Amino acid sequence: MSVFKISKEDLKKIGTVFIREIGLFIFMVFVLFFDSIYFSDNIKEVQNILNFLMIVGFFIMYFRTVKRVQELMIYAVVIGFLGEYLFSKYLGMYTYRLGDIPLYVPFVMPFYSLEFLDLVKYHWLESFIKVLNNFLAV
């Protein structure tokens, strides 16, 4: 298929997805800058700023999804809290820079889950079905 044969509607959809994903990337770089050593040395209460940004981002995503995904996001936050406290505090497997678990960390778990689901939905699922069909055909 040639690039020049793509319909205008498909190009608009591709452009919309690209803009949304590049915007998410720029936002994440911006948020990661808030978590940098430079920023924490120069700005007090940086963790509170990050907590606010991530919780606002979580609720924006939460209210933009369907009920089933909202339920899964809540499960992801609960599992994130339990996992962070189990592995970081109780088992001592790792520590955070300031010695405590930032509130925003468990709220990031649904973002990872949603990105993974997007990856599975658009890429792996199709490939997996082809491999499964070839395997079952043998």
For residue 4, being part of any structural domain is answered with no
Q: What pLDDT, on the 0 to 100 scale, is given for residue 85?
A: 84
Q: What pLDDT, on the 0 to 100 scale, is given for residue 128?
A: 66
For residue 11, being part of any structural domain is answered with no
For residue 121, being part of any structural domain is answered with yes
Q: How far is CA 76 from the centre of its chain?
A: 11
Residue predicted with more confidence, 91 or 11: 91
CB neighbours of 103 closer than 8 A, spacing ≥ 6? 47, 51, 54, 55
For residue 55, being part of any structural domain is answered with no
For residue 47, being part of any structural domain is answered with no
107: alpha, beta or left? (left if phi > 0; alpha if psi -120 to 50): alpha
Per-residue pLDDT tens for 19-43? 777 776 777 777 777 777 788 788 8
Give the position of tokens 């997996």.
128
Per-residue pLDDT tens for 62-95? 888 788 878 878 888 888 888 888 888 888 887 7
The pTM of this model reads: 0.58
Q: What pLDDT, on the 0 to 100 scale, is given for residue 33?
A: 79
Handedness of CA 113, 60, 100, 81 (dihedral sign): negative
- Token pair recorded at residue 91: 């088992």
Domain count for the chain, please give it. Answer: 1
For residue 12, being part of any structural domain is answered with no
Domain of 83 in residue numbering reads as 66-137
Q: What pLDDT, on the 0 to 100 scale, is given for residue 138?
A: 58
113: alpha, beta or left? (left if phi > 0; alpha if psi -120 to 50): alpha
Work out the pLDDT band at 123, boundaries 50, 70, 90.
low
Separation CA 38–CA 40 (nearest Å): 6
For residue 101, being part of any structural domain is answered with yes
What is the pLDDT of the chain when averaged over all its residues? 75
Q: What pLDDT, on the 0 to 100 scale, is given for residue 114?
A: 63
Backbone angles phi, psi at 52, to 5 degrees: -60, -50
Asked if 40 contacts 46 with a C-beta cutoff of 8 angstroms, the reply is yes
Neighbour count for residue 76 (Cβ, 10 Å): 20
For residue 122, being part of any structural domain is answered with yes
Examine the pLDDT at 1 and tell me if it is beyond 60.
no
